[in-house]
Amino acid sequence: MAASSQNRDREEADRPQQADLDRCVHCGLCLNSCPTYRELHLEMDSPRGRIYQMVQVSNGAPITESYVEHIELCLACRGCETACPSGVKYGRLVEAARAEIEQWIQRPLGMRLLRKLVFEHLLPRRGSLRLAGAALRLYQTSRMQRWVRASGVLKRMGRLAEIEPLAPQVETPFFFGHMGSGVYPER
């Protein structure tokens, strides 16, 4: 991922507001309510650490790959918000930080296409989601999955090798009976 020019004027960019950032007093009371901090034990993957990084960027620090990674690792679950005695609107902060990131980085073409496919064509459409579920089920129940894993082809496809084992096991009654019905509106 290439960061674009860091000297561009960010004044008009959608970004975390100073008043929201200033509410954080760095007390750390939110840390134990954060799943990424509890899992990774890294300050930079805690709410306090992410706010600290947002402040740095707000003060003119470049948007680095490391910053993007720490902000993207946030689950946006807002567990930290309820634990915060200062009323920090963390959800609003992380949404703004992500909006700012999208304006200043250039993702690789493959990633841009994948994100467009998933967010604009797959998730909002029940029909597409069902089709993807059918394809995933075919992949999992035929010999294709075993063949793909054994062939080592995934290792040559970047992060797909990490993501593939995380795909949910598709159960026909669950996927075709519940996925979408009542959750995703008809299109």
Residues that bind ligand SF4 (CB under 6 A): 24-30, 33-36, 47-48, 50-51, 74-80, 83-84, 86, 88, 90
- Shortest reach from residue 40's CB to ligand SF4, in Å: 10
Instruction: Give the nearest distance from C-beta 179 to ligand SF4 in angstroms.
Output: 25
Which CB sits closer to ligand SF4, 28 or 177? 28
Please identify, using beta-carbon distances, which residue of 30 and 54 lies nearer to ligand SF4: 30
Question: Mind giving me the DSSP string for 53-101?
Answer: HHHHHHTT----HHHHHHHHH-----HHHHH-TT---HHHHHHHHHHHH
Please say whether the beta carbons of 42 and 53 come within 8 A: no
Work out how close the CB of 143 gets to ligand SF4 at its nearest, in angstroms, rounded to a whole number: 38
CB 184, min distance to ligand SF4, A:
24
Q: Count of residues for the chain? A: 187
Q: Which of 125, 123, 8, 19 is nearest to 60 (CA)?
A: 8
Which parts of 83-160 are beta strand (E)? Answer: 105-106
Q: Can you tell me which residue has the tokens 């959750």? A: 183
Nearest approach, Cβ of residue 17 and ligand SF4 (Å): 15
**Which of 4, 86 has the CB closer to ligand SF4?**
86
Closer by beta carbon to ligand SF4, 59 or else 82: 82
Spatial contact of 30 and 56, defined as CB atoms under 8 Å apart: no
- CB nearer to ligand SF4: give 26 or 112: 26
